[in-house]
Structure 1
């Protein structure tokens, strides 16, 4: 079996039909989103395994060099812009690809694997999902952004355009402005990817309406694969 380099929290059956790999935001860890699993109320017969990896510990420039869990360093920040360490993003994408490989080694094919991410984790979920060697079941990008990055390994694969992408954002998010999230959605749609936009009356967080919509969306992705 492929051995991933990232530590992670796992929930669900030992022999899953499907897997959701869920990436946390800046300064959080894999435990942060684990409580969402029972709230999604997903049917037991879909036998979904959840994997919540911990991002590496690294110094974050915009936080005065403070060391915390981060998928990448943020060098500068503006209302509608971010200067990011793309080498860190490449490393994190490769680590998520290893997690996907590990699930495939367990017997879960790419067509039954979802990637989800919040904030920083959403950028990595989009980047990893759209550069993996095979299309996945879908991608979930929550309260995040997705700039045009220059590293060649981060270029999205046009053969993945049919992969469903759930883009969601809080309309009063002051950490990652909703304009950034909508710009990411527009970039995906302009490039021909199958993205949908979901806006909620919330800040930089998740809410019950969003969880309800995510549950329905996930069940639809896996409906014919039980």
Structure 2
């Protein structure tokens, strides 16, 4: 594991004593692993398979758009356009952190094919950044209220291992943080590259709603059942 992962604390919740599957769930800018931990009981998951949910806390870094304030973030946001001046160094550094989290689950007996990456906002961006480039197939990619980062590099950097991995992308029609059109453009680009993307919208702002939680639970049930 790299130096960042050894310092990266996580919240872990398990649906059974002997998990065979895992979900690594990445939070958004300024939040931490506590943000989505409460969603686990709301999913109403079946007793099998047993799942370990890992909610890591991103590193604390200065964020330019917030006057350089120190906060948890997977990478810097330089201006309100989000994608115009991307923090490529930070994005690639966090990709290595997430790869190490996957490797840690492998070391604990859970193969990559039984692991899903999930993320909200910045966490969504990192889910796509890592999942599309990973050399081993994942069970799925859950992408909430975010977008595809470093979009110009995806075609040349993606790995065939996750070409057929199911992707669930969801966004709020009233999202004032990440524009709906930006998310739709990311979805379209992935579909044009041949990815299996399920796209959903909900009448909500930059958040999560009950209908979305039900759809997430169904996504887990469908695709963990196949691994």
TM-score by length of 2: 0.93
SS in 2 for 1:34: coil
Shift of 1:156: 1.9
| 1:163 maps onto 2:165 in alignment | yes
| 1:64 maps onto 2:67 in alignment | yes
Structure 1 residues not aligned, in runs of 5+: none
CA distance in 2, matches of 1:163, 1:214: 16
* Kept in 2: contact 1:9–1:53 (CA 8 A): yes
CA distance in 2, matches of 1:215, 1:83: 35
Find the counterpart in structure 2 of residue 26 from structure 1: 29
Provide the aligned length of Structure 1 versus Structure 2: 224
Shift of 1:149: 4.5
* Kept in 1: contact 2:134–2:162 (CA 8 A): no
Find the counterpart in structure 2 of residue 205 from structure 1: 207
Shift of 1:159: 3.8
Match of 2:47 among 44, 47, 50: 44
Structure 1 residue runs of 4+, over 4 Å off?
Answer: 149-152
CA distance in 2, matches of 1:185, 1:19: 25
Q: CA RMSD in A?
A: 2.1
CA distance in 1, matches of 2:135, 2:83: 29
CA distance in 1, matches of 2:53, 2:127: 14
Shift of 1:75: 1.1
| 1:77 maps onto 2:93 in alignment | no
Shift of 1:161: 1.2
Match of 2:219 among 217, 220, 223: 217
Structure 2 residues not aligned, in runs of 5+: none
CA distance in 1, matches of 2:204, 2:152: 32
Find the counterpart in structure 1 of residue 179 from structure 2: 177
Shift of 1:76: 1.8
